[in-house]
Amino acid sequence: MKNDRGAAIVEFAIVLPLLIILVFGIIEFALILYDKAVITNASREGARAGIVMANPRITEGDISGIASSYCNHLISLKGAPAPIITVDGAGGSFPDNLTVTVRYDYGFLVIPKFVTALASIDPIPLSATTVMRME
């Protein structure tokens, strides 16, 4: 019919912003989950390096360096600050525990520019803690 011309374009123009927000939301939350996995593995790698029997035991700085080097895999295009790594119990002996905590603030890449209500939650604090017993 003649009166229906252009209806599809109008409907597409109405749906397009929602579709864009949905697609970028999926991308953003996938990046958050990826970065959470990276800091979890970084804390695990640091703790594992710190509990292994060595003479002399590696220092707190060495453990932080190992975890920090693993954090090079983080994805952040916004120039987020470096992760904060804390080590508790370094240099202990069996059966002491070693705790490595990695904290990272994930800054959204795109979403707060589209949905201003989400701007108040930028950045999202992520944290991972690993506790292992000394060998």
Q: Taking the chain (135 residues) in consecutive chunks of 10 residues, what is each chunk's mean pLDDT?
A: 74 89 87 93 93 83 92 77 88 85 85 61 85 89
Evaluate if pTM is beyond 0.75. Answer: yes
Question: Residue 69: its pLDDT value, please?
Answer: 92
3-state secondary structure the chain: CHHHCCHHHHHHHHHHHHHHHHHHHHHHHHHHHHHHHHHHHHHHHHHHHHHCCCCCCCCHHHHHHHHHHHHHHCCCCCCCCCCEEEEECCCCCCCCEEEEEEEEEECCCCHHHHCHHHHHHCCEEEEEEEEEECC
Question: Residue 48: its pLDDT value, please?
Answer: 93
Question: Residue 33: its pLDDT value, please?
Answer: 93
Question: Residue 116: its pLDDT value, please?
Answer: 58
Question: Residue 111: its pLDDT value, please?
Answer: 66
